[in-house]
Each structure stands twice: as structure tokens, then as C-alpha cells.
Homo-oligomer: A and B are copies of this chain.
Amino acid sequence: MSPHEPRSSCPLAYALDVFGDRWTLLIVRDMLFRGLQRFSEFAASPEGIASNILTDRLKRLEDLGLVARRPDPEDGRRVLYHLTERGLRLGPAMIEILRWGLEMDPDTQLPARFRSMLGGDTTALLAELAKKHRALADGNTPEEADG
């Protein structure tokens, strides 16, 4: 699932070469919507990703410049991951995919606050998420609010 060369010149095909699998956007979700940064946090998400797959996906996201890593100043064993500016550009697509999933499957759930934000202005929502994410990436850790 990691082609060396593009299948076509279509931007949609390019995007699917990047994240057309079941896990990549879940990792991006956890970074963007939930503010998670650590390998063990991603591994602990409810979907239960395998550690070799998580390693693989994080590496590919880093290689593509969508994610960056830095050592955890509090514990040298740990690495902190965050979305780069390029990675933050996934926001609009993430929001629309989320909306679609909510509309298609009423059994799916989101925290009420996030759900109400989805019904509002997308640009404002994304600006807020990006701001919080940049603060995390800078090492400021505001009180976490689950996405």
C-alpha cells in the first residue's frame, strides 16, 4: 500500500495514496481533534491499532512532511508527535468525512460539544483546532479537552 510512483496525475488518487487505508486518518484525528501526541496514546485509542502498523503509519506521515516528532523533555524514552502545517491542511477533509460518517450512521457518537461545533462554521472550528494544536506542538500543554 505504499507505491513508489503515483498511479495517476489525479489529486484524489494522490491523496488516497497518502491516506487511503483504515488507520492513517484515525491517527490524524487523534492528533488534531483529541490533542494526543504520544505513541502509547495512539495505541490506546478505541480502534486498537497494532503497534507495527502504528509505527509504519507514523513513519510514512513523517516522511511525507505531515507529521513531525520531537523528544519528550520530560522523559527521554518518549517521543512527541504533532501535525505540521501541511498536516493541519487535512482539517477540512477530516471535518467533512466526520460529518458524512455522523449523517450515515446515527449509532456513531461524538462528544456533544464537538458535535455542536460541527454544525457551525467550519473555518472557525478549524482555526481553533489549529491554534490549539500549534500550542501543543510548541510545548505548551493547555488542559486537554477530549475531541
Residue ranges of A at the interface with B (Cβ–Cβ < 8 Å): 1, 6-18, 20-23, 25-26, 29, 45-48, 86, 89-90, 92-105, 107-110
Residue of B nearest to A109 (CB): B9
B98, A47: Cβ atoms closer than 8 Å = no
Q: Which residues of B contact A12 (CB under 8 A)?
A: 25-26, 29, 94, 97-98, 101
- Find A14's partner among B21, B48, B93, B108 (CB 8 Å cutoff): B108
Interface of A is mostly: helix
Give the distance to chain B from A103, nearest Cβ to Cβ, in Å: 6
- Residue numbers in B under 8 Å from A25 (CB-CB): 12, 16, 20
Q: Are B10 and A46 in contact (CB under 8 A)?
A: yes
Q: Are B108's CB and A9's CB within 8 A?
A: yes
